[in-house]
Amino acid sequence: MKIANSLMSGLGTTVFEVMSALARQHQSVNLGQGFPDDKGPEAVRRAAADYLMDGHNQYPPMMGLPELRQAVAAHAKRFQGLEVDWQSEVLVTSGATEALGDCLFGLIEPGDEVVLIEPLYDSYLPIVRRAGGIPKLVRLEPPTWSLPREALAAAFSDRTKLILFNTPMNPCSKVFDREELEFIAALCRKHDAYAVCDEVYEHIIFDDRRHLSIMALPGMRERTARIGSAGKSFSVTGWKVGYVTAPVEMMKAIAKTHQFMTFTTPPNLQWGAAAGLRLDDGYYSGLAGDMQRKRDRLAGALAAIGFDVLPAHGTYFVTTDFRPLGFNGTDEDFCRYITVEAGVTAVPVSAFYDQPEAAPRHFARFCFCKHDETLDTAIARLSAHFKA
């Protein structure tokens, strides 16, 4: 038999699946893969349920239900001051994951250079490479994860097609500030590059920070695709409803990819997501406030147990250095060890690097988007284990 695509067949199973399977096997508290254990807002689930029973359960329009595209455009205006034409500039996808794939396959020409920032979400590199892109990686360094401006400028050239980055940023919980975004924007303008910005955690942001989309900066409206996820904004990660906002010319190529990847996304879930995007500001500030309290609950307890806990400005996650606990193995060893021995699961941060062997190997990422009881059980188990 001829071999399958070598790049794809050479990939391992994603760390989230591996660690969740291990968590199930050992009945540990799963603070690895990022998903809330809350049900999400009743109004959002009710809208989807009603549509499922009474609505039109056939192919919706390829670009997405008009009601959802209108809601995405209104939400962009409300939170970012962006004027978006819902008919030509918004696309609904099956999760942010598909949105990322649509943007990368739609924009990259084989041989194009693509700037990426490590640590990075695990779907980025395989898709960039499969699209024929040549990754140019720039690394953020803990504990501040601040933007290394010289290295970033050096990674750009006139061969750069686009930069792909994520803010608020998984796994290191960094939020890019205005100056950093302006620096990136200036490089995009200088080298005539696109920005693809993964903003799935736009509403999970703490300590009075406000999410700023690079699309809202001068000269970026016409060269940015920004990606959101109903899964994250409404605590329904299994829904896989995402949305891309991009200027018409970019959108044409992105939508052409979507039409042959999934073509459409379940209409009842789109209807539910539209109800979510129309929720009032109080919902969004409540979500951020709840997550911030959960961050404080888990981060404080992990610090008391002896972890060195890094700051977390957004996302579902907190990064911890486990060396102060006296553990000498790698981050993978540590995450397996606490799953089996303490009954709590985390994910190794080295999985978010192109070459895990050459990445920092002493960080574990814990997810805090859980009910207080779930967090408290995890905390009690870790305390009992490490104090013993």
Q: What is the contact surface with ligand GLN in residues (CB under 6 A)?
A: 14, 16, 33-34, 170
The CA distance from 180 to 202, in Å, is 16
End-to-end CA distance of the chain: 54
The answer to the question of residue 237 lying near ligand PMP (CB under 6 A) is yes
CB of 114 to ligand PMP, least distance (A): 16
CB under 5 to 8 A by kind: which of ligand GLN, ligand PMP, none does 321 bind?
none
Structure tokens at 340: 């089996």
Residue 235 near which of ligand PMP, ligand GLN, none (CB within 5-8 Å, type-dependent)? none
231 interface partner picked from ligand PMP, ligand GLN, none, CB below 5 to 8 A per type: ligand PMP
Minimum CB distance to ligand PMP smaller for 166 or for 257? 166
**Closer to ligand GLN by Cβ: residue 136 or 211:** 211
Residue nearest to ligand PMP (CB): 95
**Residue pointed to by tokens 């490590």:** 118
Is-contact 325 302, C-beta < 8 A? no
In the complex, minimum distance from the CB of residue 237 to ligand PMP, in angstroms, rounded to a whole number: 5
Binding to ligand PMP by residue 198, rule CB under 6 A?
A: yes
Sign of CA dihedral 357, 361, 366, 367: negative
Distance CA 161, CA 11 (A): 25
Q: Tell me which of 200, 254, 277, 367 binds ligand PMP, using CB under 6 A.
A: 200
Buried b (16+ CB within 10 A) or exposed e, 145-164: bebeeeebeebbeeebbbbb
Least Cβ distance, residue 122 to ligand PMP (angstroms): 9
Helical (H) or strand (E) element with 182: helix 178-190
CB atoms within 10 A of CB 102: 30
Q: Which stretch binds ligand PMP (CB under 6 A): 102-110, 156-164, 237-245, 265-273?
A: 237-245
Three-state DSSP class for residue 313: coil
Instruction: Closer to ligand PMP by CB, 362 or 365: give it.
Output: 365
Task: Tell me whether residue 60 or residue 171 sits nearer to ligand GLN (CB atom).
Answer: 171
Can you spell out the DSSP letters for 65-133?
A: -HHHHHHHHHHHHHHH-----HHHHEEEESHHHHHHHHHHHHH--TT-EEEEEES--TTHHHHHHHTT-
Residues 120-179 interacting with ligand PMP (rule: CB under 6 A): 121, 166, 170
Regarding 270 and contact with ligand PMP (CB under 6 A), the answer is: no
If binding is defined by CB under 6 A, does position 202 make contact with ligand PMP? no
Q: Which residues bind ligand PMP (CB under 6 A)?
A: 95-97, 121, 166, 170, 198, 200, 229, 231, 237, 240, 242
